[in-house]
Structures are given as C-alpha cells and as structure tokens.
Amino acid sequence: MNSLQNRANSVMAFSLSAIFCLLGAIALSALLIPSHPSGSVALDSIKVVTGRYDKNWVDYKTRDNQFANTVMKIDADLSSLFHWNTKQLFVYAVAEYSTKSHPKNQIVLWDSIIKRKSDAVIKKQNINNKYSLIDVNRKWTDVEANVTLHWNIVPYVGFMTYGHSQSSGGYAFPLPSGIQK
C-alpha cells in the first residue's frame, strides 16, 4: 500500500473479491424467498388432421402423418416468482403422454417469455398450439395426454429454477377428421 498504483490495485482486488461474495449471497437468497405460483392449462378441443410431415421438410411419400391441433386455455398467476433476482420467466405448456413404443413423451405446445411482474398474470383463451403436435410414430391411436404449465425462472445471477403446475389431464386424441393444408 505504499505507492499510488499499489493502493489502487489493492482497492480493485479487494472489491473484486467482495463483489463475488455479494453476488453469491444474492444467488443464495433467491433460493430462500418464498413464492406461491399457481397455474393451469386446459385443452378446450383437440382435432387430429393428416398432412405432410413438415412445411420445410417435405415428405412427398406420404400425406397421412397425424397432427393434433389443440385449443388451449391458460390461467396462471406467476407474479410471486418475480423477486429481486428474477430477470425473466420462461413459461411453457407441455403435453405428456405415453405410447407402447415410447413410455415418456413430452411436447411443448406453447411458450412465452415474461419480462415484467405486471405481465405475470396470464389469462388467455383460444390459444392454438404454437408448435406442431405430432408423435414420433406420426399416429395418434390410443393416446391420452396430460397438459402441464411449466415455468423457469431466469435469474440475474445464480441458479435457474424450475416449477410446474399440477397436470390437468387425460385428454384422449380423436380419430383424424380433416386434412392439414
């Protein structure tokens, strides 16, 4: 600490150590802050249509891949997840089902990024699925799906934490009733 450069260096070095401790404390505190999120997803209707596999990945051989088109209703209050270390929330609705060949399948139907506490109360109706709902086998026979609202807290510093609502459930997929454009 005898010369100017020496003192500047030790102030900087100590503040670097201190900021790591501060950020560590912030990261740990975020795990202890209680929250009481609630949410639910419900499918108002499911319609199965047939079509080519993908608009961009054209499968000319067959047009009978079965897509499910759903209409969702989402009701959630995630505002208590916004604490001082929450940068944003990633909210996504997941359909989960099992088939004979694949016991656990999860498909994201819809997602959204929430950046403000004021936007964290979600009340949406008539949402179509954002992403194609198609099984690996490309058929929906004897399938019952649960839908769940999941959320992921993206912090400013620290740990990503995840949560989900209770799954609402047992939606059976009907027989194909149309052709996808």
Partner 1 sequence: MLEYHIDFQGQSRAEVITQGLITTFGVVGFLVGLVLQDIRLSLFIFAAGIVLAGLLVIPAWPYLNKNPVKWLPSRAKAALEQEKSTVSSSSTGSEKEKVA
Give the footprint of partner 1 on this chain (CB under 8 A). 1-5, 7-8, 10-11, 14-15, 18-19, 21-22, 25-26, 29, 83-85, 156-157
At its nearest, how many Å lie between partner 1 and the CB of residue 26? 6
Nearest Cα neighbor of 170 from 68, 95, 102, 93 is 95
Nearer to partner 1, 34 or 103 (CB): 34
At its nearest, how many Å lie between partner 1 and the CB of residue 161? 16
Nearer to partner 1, 14 or 131 (CB): 14
At its nearest, how many Å lie between partner 1 and the CB of residue 87? 9
Q: Give the span between the Cα atoms of 38 and 166, in whole angstroms.
A: 9
At its nearest, how many Å lie between partner 1 and the CB of residue 120? 14
Nearer to partner 1, 30 or 72 (CB): 30
Structure token pair of residue 144: 């019952």
At its nearest, how many Å lie between partner 1 and the CB of residue 79? 12
The alpha-helical segments, DSSP class H, found in the chain are 4-32
Nearer to partner 1, 1 or 175 (CB): 1
At its nearest, how many Å lie between partner 1 and the CB of residue 77? 18
Nearer to partner 1, 32 or 58 (CB): 32
Q: Give the span between the Cα atoms of 171 and 126, in whole angstroms.
A: 17
Cβ atoms within 10 Å, residue 174: 12
Handedness of CA 104, 107, 113, 116 (dihedral sign): negative
Nearer to partner 1, 29 or 125 (CB): 29
Q: Could you tell me the CA-to-CA distances from 148 to 46, 70, 118 in Å, in that order?
A: 16, 14, 22
Nearest Cα neighbor of 122 from 156, 159, 150 is 150
Q: Give the span between the Cα atoms of 92 and 101, in whole angstroms.
A: 26
